[in-house]
Structure 1
């Protein structure tokens, strides 16, 4: 297949790109600048990869040219999405870019890339999470319950982010329902994503949010805010899930909660302590050790996509090794 991958220089997307190439697909990826594109080509030297520049994914028509190709695309994987907590205006800074970035690419595919038959979007567990009133079991039926009014007025940046992922995903499903495009939609909802770093990172200060948590554990830094969600997935498993989602016809029209399981801060600390004795002295004594009152159900991803998830131990050990190679 020929695949368009958006946001190709990101932590997750670079692994998706690697997995697409391993499966024999040709890939064009969107990047924000020529410089980022050249860095990516250098990472995948000699592979069937090229890039297209999309500066701001939230602009009207941002993807109109990127979706055009000769030979044409067969599938699109959309991983690009704004993720930050520097929120001054909930609507302008997070809600609009998330929703418009998602609907924008779907509109562009429908109008300019009729050859595309499969579209996969990276959503998030954030679109399922209900921190104040969690269900007994999280599965694909569960949605974040925040209303647009609440999203527009809350001063909690994390809550705005959860809302942005929720409304972006709902907009995607609504688009398919009302516009009836010739492509099918599959959505993946990963939780905390850990794993080795494949993308270009100039310094440890540029780490993705979840792996920075592991770095802080290694360094014994005090936690900034509440303990992270214990639900996790290895980035390599998440990357494979994206590729299986475009290859497996059964994935069409489906939402998948892709997660390996749960692991507390203390669980991760114990793994680091055992595998890297020289780091043990840095680990804090107050690592969170309690699991939440809900269960998780990942059986759909195993049954339909055929997922086999890595253990927490393998994920954390490989993450630490990767961080050490970057100078941690």
Structure 2
């Protein structure tokens, strides 16, 4: 059994695996929801600590002093486009949140032996080569975006935040030689069911918004363009990837590119039509077009074979992920 500091919510799988967990949240309201959902667990098994602003340099200074910490999963970084200033609202929380916790661990948590950080495929891709069939993105590929690019567009600002935060993490480890090793995980679009005690339909994550729109009937007459990156992973597999990165020695010092493969909005619509016939009046029929893959000469390649060899995950199918998410969405009254 390992005592793990979790800075977001891969919580259920950690508890199921028998770990002791210290998890951080940003508000007392969210903390109370977690406590109520796990009211049979004592603080020795699950402790909830409020860290209201991860963009503060000292945000994690106290929680890392928790006795017995052996590992850290840092997954807290904003992914949404509901902001006005990319530097203060997107880049700084990502970069300072990441470097802040690494500095605090280096100073005050000598018992921590592994840190797993959630990065993103956003830190791998190159916006200028998403339509280049000669380009093969892999664990070794880095997004060339810089801080000077953050005002280009909201997607670029988000991609910069993930790239700069992950680079800062690897630079910190290289420069400071801490007692822990580092693993970063770079998932693409994350789909799948939500944790009910932490979610509401209005606050559902950005990745899942497209399925909410479909269930509400917004795709009835036309399926929207999928948009890059045409790669995805189920949220439960993303959590599983973090746990395996935590437990497997060979993951240490590695950058992992975790994806179940390609998807498009047309496939999401088909999964819904085939499995949720009661939504027929809201869903696009088989004759409705849109949301398809680009032609082969406008499609990048990818290679995540190194990651698959380390993690050994049998990825959840897109069909199951979509159907399970629709079940959740409907439970909110849609």
- Is the TM-score greater than 0.5? yes
Any idea what SS the aligned residue of 1:289 has? coil
Cα distance per residue 1:85-128 (max 9 Å; x no partner): 23433322222221111000000000011100010001111111
Residue 297 of structure 1 pairs with residue 309 of structure 2: no
Any idea what SS the aligned residue of 2:22 has? strand
Change (3 A) 1:224 1:60: farther
Output the CA distance in 2 between the equivalents of 1:324 and 1:3.
34
Q: Is the 8 A contact 1:53 1:66 kept in 2?
A: no
Output the CA distance in 2 between the equivalents of 1:186 and 1:44.
29
Give, in angstroms, the shift of residue 316 of structure 1: 1.0
Equivalences for residues 126-141 of structure 1 within 5 A:
126-134=122-130, 136-141=135-140
Give, in angstroms, the shift of residue 226 of structure 1: 5.1
Give the one of 86, 96, 100 matched to 2:96. 100
Cα distance per residue 1:71-98 (max 9 Å; x no partner): x200000011122323433322222221
Counterpart for residue 30 of structure 2: 36
Any idea what SS the aligned residue of 1:206 has? coil
Q: Is the 8 A contact 1:32 1:55 kept in 2?
A: yes
Counterpart for residue 267 of structure 1: 267
Give, in angstroms, the shift of residue 220 of structure 1: 2.6
Output the CA distance in 2 between the equivalents of 1:41 and 1:121.
24
Output the CA distance in 2 between the equivalents of 1:18 and 1:208.
18
Unaligned runs of 5+ residues in structure 2 are none
Residue 6 of structure 1 pairs with residue 3 of structure 2: no
Counterpart for residue 84 of structure 1: 80
Give the one of 158, 163, 168 matched to 1:166. 163
Output the CA distance in 1 between the equivalents of 2:232 and 2:254.
21
Any idea what SS the aligned residue of 1:239 has? helix
Residue 194 of structure 1 pairs with residue 191 of structure 2: yes
Output the CA distance in 2 between the equivalents of 1:167 and 1:139.
18
Q: Is the 8 A contact 2:123 2:186 kept in 1?
A: yes
For this pair of structures, how many residues does the alignment match? 318
Output the CA distance in 1 between the equivalents of 2:223 and 2:100.
35
Give, in angstroms, the shift of residue 199 of structure 1: 4.2
Any idea what SS the aligned residue of 2:127 has? coil
Give, in angstroms, the shift of residue 149 of structure 1: 1.8
Q: Is the 8 A contact 1:58 1:97 kept in 2?
A: yes
Structure 2 length normalisation: TM-score?
0.90
Any idea what SS the aligned residue of 2:233 has? strand
Q: Is the 8 A contact 2:225 2:292 kept in 1?
A: no
User: What RMSD in Å do the two structures reach over aligned CA positions?
Assistant: 1.8
Any idea what SS the aligned residue of 1:186 has? strand
Q: Is the 8 A contact 1:195 1:319 kept in 2?
A: yes
Q: Is the 8 A contact 1:269 1:287 kept in 2?
A: no
Equivalences for residues 214-225 of structure 1 within 5 A:
214-221=211-218
Cα distance per residue 1:291-319 (max 9 Å; x no partner): 46122222222211222111111111111
Q: After the TM superposition, which segments of 4 or more aligned residues of structure 1 sit over 6 Å from their partners? A: none
Give the one of 8, 11, 18 matched to 2:12. 18
Q: Out of 128-137 and 311-320, give the one that drifted further.
A: 128-137
